[in-house]
Structure 1
Amino acid sequence: MTVSTLSVVPEATASGTAPYAEPGTHPNIPAWWRRSSDVRLQALARAARPDYEAWLSHVKPASACTRPVRLAGTIATVEAATGRLLAERATADMPDGVIYKPCGNRRESVCPSCSKLYQNDAYQVVRTGLVGGKGVPEQVAHHPAVFPTFTAPGFGEVHTRVVKRHTCARRKDCDCRPEPCHARRDLTVCPHGVRLACFARHAGDDPRLGTPLCLDCYPYEAHAVWNLMAGELWRRTSIAVNRYIRRLAKARGIPDVAAMTADGKLRMVPPVRLSFGKAAEMQRRGIVHFHAIVRLDGVDPTDPAATVPPPPGIDAHDLVDAIDHATATVGFTTAPHPERPGGWHIGWGEQILTKVITVAGHGEVTDGQVAAYLAKYATKATEITGHSSARLHPDTIDLYADRHGTHTERLIDACWRLADVRWRCPAALCRHHHSCPVCIERRAAAATPEPSRYARLRRWAHMLGFGGHFLTKSRRYSVTFALLREQRIIFRRAQTSGPETTGTGTEPTTLVVNFLQFVGAGWHTSADAMLANTSAAMAREHAEAARQALQTLAA
């Protein structure tokens, strides 16, 4: 068996730069090539080199990536039992003197190729928790499961597009006639002189969608804090759902289970437990809501880590009631802040929809639909709001934040301002807050703020305050991304080198150790990016043609 230690490689820090991140600096590249700005000449020069075929084969693993990671160093193959060095190879002897590794970015707007691979893995992670496979028992397909959607509350009226009756074949290409945005007989005018009505029937790509009717009336501070605290709200909600189900089991006479702990002791535990999977979706108005999967499992007394069917007496409709109860009751108030000494209330909105998941091709929603839906949002971020940037810092914040600018600019500005919890005089009349009587009085009336909570707003200002993962799951729900990637590595190495066997027919145990370091990101030139991506596109077309041919023969 061949085992590898995966090198620790930093992900690309820049977000979505062009696929030709850096000019060619390798000594084997002619000087006239580096000076030329004509992509065609660069491509011809690369294709005319004698090692062109070797270069194409070398960059194949990352050929479709827009900004691959470049690694340099040595690769050693050692015998695991004795530590004897069997082989060693340096990247200096390879084309371009480096190894190209896909960036692995999950965002579709940054790298479509790597995000597609991440989306496929996310689909397997989500669907495996519903139908089993890859180490998960197939009996989970018979466990009750629901698909709830948790939405944020409304912070103000925004431009919307509502279609009451769809006649289109695909919602993605919907061209149905929408309803008027905010049609009113009473033409109310806000304190800022803006008429709070809109009679337009917005198109799907209208930039006004998601923006408030009045930017000055919108509570951007509350919006930013809700994004920041959404993860904590989800944690409390999952706890409340668990407690509801356990109380329900006790009320229906389902006894607790005597389970064996890790230290060999017996303790009574509830007979049911819940497994979660969750994806976050950023809405046009710049606020997240969650799509989740809640599965009901039982408890094995002899193996607490096993996934077993739940006891009879609790079904999917009980899960729906538990989620409705939790979303209606769970809420909390944040720590005091200088701009709001009483804190902000964090709770869910009124639009909570929970559907029962079925494995068959009928029902409210099937396992395949749910898995595809969650996997799709795992590769999204803030692009739908019109904003996309890397992590912001004091040198770049002015490019994206403006207290009197657009909707997203004001929201980013609110995130940046709220992160500074130092006291500011309301009237800005003093220079020394410790001696100002107004500040002393107001500071004494307010409790001490928690800097660590609100300081995270500055770190996640580029995400409009949301700092959570876009796809998470509980430990027992399904397989992990690491397991899928490890299986992919083993499969590709078996295809490349084939199984190695000794004279006795047993597989030798070797260890591939990578002594590699990060030396850059991106292709050397625009021509390299074009040639590599073209090669990857041709390979995909050939694979698709072969797949269709096999399906035709099978039919």
Structure 2
Amino acid sequence: MTLSTLPVAPEPTGSGAPTCADTPAVPAWYRTSTDLARQAVARATRDDYPAWLSHVRPAADCTRPVQLAGMLATVEAATGRLLAARSTADMPDGVIYKPCGNRRAAVCPACSQRYQNDAYQVVRTGLIGGKGVPEQVAHHPAVFPTFTAPSFGQVHTRAVRRHTCTRRKDCDCRPEPCHARRDLTVCPHGTRLACFARHDAEDRRLGTPLCLDCYDHDAQVVWNHAAGELWRRTTIAITRRIHARSRQLGIPDVPVISENRGKTRVRWVPPVRLSFGKAAEMQRRGVAHFHAIIRLDGFDPDQPDTVLAPPPGLDAADLVDAIDHAAATVTFTTAPHPARPGGWPIAWGEQILTKVITVAGQGEVTDGQVAAYLAKYATKATEITGHTSSRLTTETVDLYANPDGTHTERLIDACWRLGNFRHDSTPPARWTDQPLREPFPVAGFVPAWTCPTCHTRTRYPACPTCTATDLATPGEQAEPPARRNPYARLRRWAHMLGFGGHFLTKSRRYSITFALLRDQRVEFRRAQSAGPEQTDTAGTPTTLVVNFLEFVGAGWRTPADAMLATTSAAMAREHQNAARDYLTTLAA
């Protein structure tokens, strides 16, 4: 059951519909012809075509809309009395069409464009303010670092030493030879590790290894798998470095007072806080690297949720130093694996570039450039590698995985192979087996420990994250957290070459949220259309629409419906663009 005050399809809130969904039966008059044009004409000449076109308008641009069926009830807000009810069976096609909301441009260009626009607003608002974020953040020091992965083997590259083009997107500069060598080194597999070609920007060899057998595919997918943990440790290291710098400058710490069970605890922390935002980009070789925004804010324990100016003395140069230090020092080793008992070392690569962000000024990079750059990659995934697929299963993995195949096929095979093993090592001794003593007097708590499966830091005897996962799947017998497979997510994210993190994330106080932007669109639509709800003089709704809807399918009923819907949306978009250009001309 959903609660809404909109008359028909609500705004998208999910990432999309499942890839396999049953759709309602196609009417007989559609099956009379296999010609797409004749089907479209047959639909357009029906008496209910205008009503159908108006009904599908909210999802007309979507390539795979979600179909919802059920009942829409109008009730009185104060008493809950049913005033009216309407079934979707009385609507065109018997369903409500809702946009899929998929962020990937390769899946749904229309929904991904909306997601990209929202991502642009989320990123840029954190740099210039607005929409509830104070405008003073435009004066806070901010930098734009790029973190890359280390090398796992030599690949074909395209390097331009000096650009003479005006736009990098249309770069036609002459590149350097890929791997020009005089000694013509031959690897143990008999492959010459040299390439004298000057690759074009669209050359399919870019990102592929010079020798597929020498390339460490296992280490690369494990690095993708552990990239989120590496980023978390890096943010901690950057924060600690800034704190050390603030103490060096003589900036006094501020007290943070907390109470627990009648006891007061005082912690002294520096009056500075870092806000983060990052986007992941998949390189041609199939490994993720991060573009981040790091902003320096102040901190007041009396106003913990307020974005304040940083203390004087700290500037962007301190941020650059902290980032360089963290990128060079942060490293860890993954859990043991039968393929590598000592685990894989995880660290950043040598190519770390940090630029200072300026707002509407002359600098290395501006706020608009950064926001557009991150929003662009928020709608991409593995398309640049040449591999696109949905989540793989045991029935479909053989279509994409091959231990002796192409580069991406070997990466998928590595994900599937490394993700299938049982962690048979002896679990560590539990703190619950030891008597509790100070300073842990609270019954049921133990000294802090890190879960080897999900890396959650907790003081509970059992990991709360893994326990919640086990309870969510009651049909499966849960294993102790220490005996579960820490590499199981490699299979779940094999279609993403092992990378299972979000492509656009941010810290809590960096900027606004996607949910806020969606709510603002809903309010705008309500203001444009009266809808079925009614309000009193104070603006409080007196009637509400309660939707009892369920998922019944995904996609358009026929290709003709899809063509008519997308054509209608394209014509409406062209009309809006023409009207906007006309108004711009009048204003000029």
- CA spacing shift, 1:261–1:478, aligned 2, 3 Å: farther
- Please tell me the residue identity of whatever aligns with 2:159: V
Q: Which residue of 2 aligns with 1:366?
A: 366
CA spacing shift, 1:550–1:57, aligned 2, 3 Å: same
Q: For each residue in 1:34-56, what CA deviation from the matched residue of structure 2 results, as whole angstroms up to 9, or x when unmatched?
A: 24211111101100110111111
Question: Which among 138, 148, 157 is matched to residue 145 of structure 2?
Answer: 148
Residue 196 (structure 2) pairs with residue 191 (structure 1): no
Q: Note the 1:542-553 alignment, pairs <5 A.
A: 542-553=575-586
- For 1:250 and 1:23, the matched residues in 2 are separated by 64
Query: In the alignment, which residue of structure 2 is the partner of 1:512?
Result: 545
User: Using a 3 Å threshold, how does the CA distance of structure 1 residues 499 and 92 change in structure 2: closer, same or farther?
Assistant: closer
Q: State the alpha-carbon separation in 2 of the partners of residues 216 and 355 from structure 1.
A: 37
Q: Measured at CA, do residues 502 and 534 of structure 1 come closer, stay the same or move farther in structure 2, by a change above 3 Å?
A: closer
What SS class does the counterpart of residue 124 from structure 1 fall into? helix
**Matching of residues 252-271 of structure 1 within 5 Å:** 252-259=249-256, 267-271=267-271
Q: Match for residue 390 of structure 2?
A: 390
Q: Is the 8 A contact 2:423 2:483 kept in 1?
A: no
TM-score, with structure 1 as normaliser: 0.90
1:497 aligned partner, one-letter code = A
User: 2:279 maps to which residue?
Assistant: 279
Residue 307 of structure 1 corresponds to 307
Q: Tell me the CA shift for residue 255 of structure 1.
A: 0.9
Q: Which of the residues 168, 171, 175 maps onto 1:178? A: 175
In the TM superposition, what whole-angstrom CA distance separates every residue of 1:57-100 from its partner, at most 9, and x where no partner exists?
A: 11000000000000001112223222222332211111111000
- Classify 1:24/1:280 alpha carbon distance in 2 versus 1 (closer, same or farther; 3 Å): same
State the SS of the aligned residue for 1:410: helix
The residue number in structure 2 matching 1:439 is none
Runs (4+) off by over 6 Å: 4-10, 21-24, 262-266, 498-501
Q: Which amino acid counterpart does residue 371 of structure 1 have in structure 2? A: A
Residue 211 of structure 2, aligned match among 203, 211, 214: 214
Partner in structure 2 of residue 164 of structure 1: 161
Q: Is the 8 A contact 1:523 1:529 kept in 2?
A: yes
Paired AA for residue 493 in structure 2: W
Instruction: Tell me which amino acid in the other structure corresponds to 1:336.
Output: P
- Return the letter of the residue paired with 1:465: G
Residue 136 of structure 1 and its aligned partner are, at CA, apart by 0.7
Task: Say if 1:349 and 1:212 are closer, same or farther in 2 by CA, change over 3 A.
Answer: same
Tell whether 2:472 aligns with 1:467.
Answer: no
Distance 1:180 1:492, change over 3 A: same
Cα distance in 1 for partners of 2:408, 2:541 equals 58
d(CA) in 2 for partners of 1:397 and 1:478? 39
1:201 paired with 2:202, answer no
Matched, 1:25 2:58: no
Number of matched residues? 523
Give the Cα–Cα distance (whole angstroms) in 2 for the partners of residues 155 and 280 of structure 1.
Answer: 19
Q: Is the 8 A contact 1:500 1:507 kept in 2?
A: no
Shift of 1:32: 3.7
SS at match of 1:539: helix
**Aligned residue in 2 for 1:349:** 349
Structure 1 alignment gaps of length 5 or more = 16-20, 425-447
2:61 pairs with 41, 59, 64, which one?
A: 64
Decide whether the 8 Å contact of 1:23 with 1:34 is kept in 2. no
Instruction: Please say which of residues 488-497 and 533-542 is displaced more in the overlay.
Output: 488-497
Aligned sequence identity (%): 73
2: CA distance, partners of 1:132 / 1:552: 30
Structure 2 residue aligned with 1:409: 409
Contact 1:336 1:450 in 2 (8 A): no
Distance 2:532 2:368 in 1: 35
Partner of 1:485: 518
TM-superposed CA distance for 1:490, in Å, is 1.4
Point out the more displaced range, 509-518 or 287-296.
509-518
Residue type matched to 2:498 in 1? G
1:295 and 2:292 correspond: no
Q: Secondary structure at the match of 1:454?
A: coil
Alignment RMSD: 2.3
Q: Please report how far the alpha carbon of residue 251 of structure 1 lies from its aligned counterpart in structure 2 after TM superposition.
A: 1.6
- 2:33/2:39 contact within 8 Å kept: yes
> CA offset at residue 502 of structure 1?
5.7
Q: Is contact 1:122-1:375 (8 Å) kept?
A: yes
Q: Is the 8 A contact 1:196 1:213 kept in 2?
A: yes
State which of 560, 566, 570 in structure 2 corresponds to 1:527: 560
Letter in 2 for 1:221: D
Cα shift at 1:513 = 1.7
Deviations 1:89-129 (A, max 9, x none): 21111111100000000000000000000000000000111
* Other structure's SS at 2:119 match: helix
1:109-160 CA distance string (max 9 Å, x none): 0000000000000000001111111111111111111000000001111000
Cα 1:212–1:7 shift into 2, 3 Å: closer
Amino acid at match of 1:390: S
| 2:97 aligned partner | 100
Change (3 A) 1:118 1:502: closer
2:586 and 2:409 map into 1 onto residues whose CA distance is 56
Q: Which residue of 2 aligns with 1:429?
A: none
Residues in 2 aligned to 1:487 and 1:360: alpha-carbon distance in whole angstroms:
27
Distance 1:234 1:394, change over 3 A: same
Check whether the contact 1:148–1:292 (CA below 8 A) recurs between aligned residues: yes
Q: Report the Cα offset of residue 553 of structure 1.
A: 1.1
